[in-house]
Amino acid sequence: MIALLQRVAQARVEVAGVTIGAIGQGVLMFVCAEPGDTDALADKLVAKVLKLRIFGDDAGKMNRSLVDVNGGLLIVSQFTLAADVSSGTRPGFSAVAPPEQGQRLYERVLATARATHPVVACGEFGADMQVHLINDGPVTIPIILRS
């Protein structure tokens, strides 16, 4: 699985002009499933994100996790994270999981996050979404997990 994390002061996602998910301070996580990804990998991703120490402590060092700061987690599906741009000028998407698998794993990430963290919001799989955020730092971290 591929994820791109952005530490945010706030973030929201809209579909057709309607806000469907929003958080204050926390993490905006874009997530993409690849063909070999499993439920176990989705669970591992959520555990990693919740424990990743990317928030400042009293000394300003990144020593606090999303759990420590009681921040929100906004999860948005984004298949373009697996884009292949190695040749030509048009991205290829052959490394993306088929839509059915991608949606199932996205829903697994959401379910796992909701079962283990109190503030979880989400986008809509496959929808044309507009994502609004205030990146805090900026802090942007890519995560690639493979079986």
Catalytic amino acids? 78-80
In this predicted model, what pLDDT tens digit does every residue of 27-85 receive, in sequence order? 999 999 999 999 999 999 999 999 999 999 999 999 999 999 999 999 999 999 999 99
CB-neighbour burial class of residue 60 (10 A; exposed 0-12, middle 13-18, buried 19+): exposed
What's the CA angle centered on 117, arms 115 and 119, to 5 degrees? Answer: 115
Report whether 77 contacts 106 (CB < 8 A).
yes
Rounded to two decimals, the pTM is 0.96
Residue 134 confidence (pLDDT) above 90: yes
Q: Which domains does the chain have, with CATH numbers?
A: 2-136 (3.50.80.10)
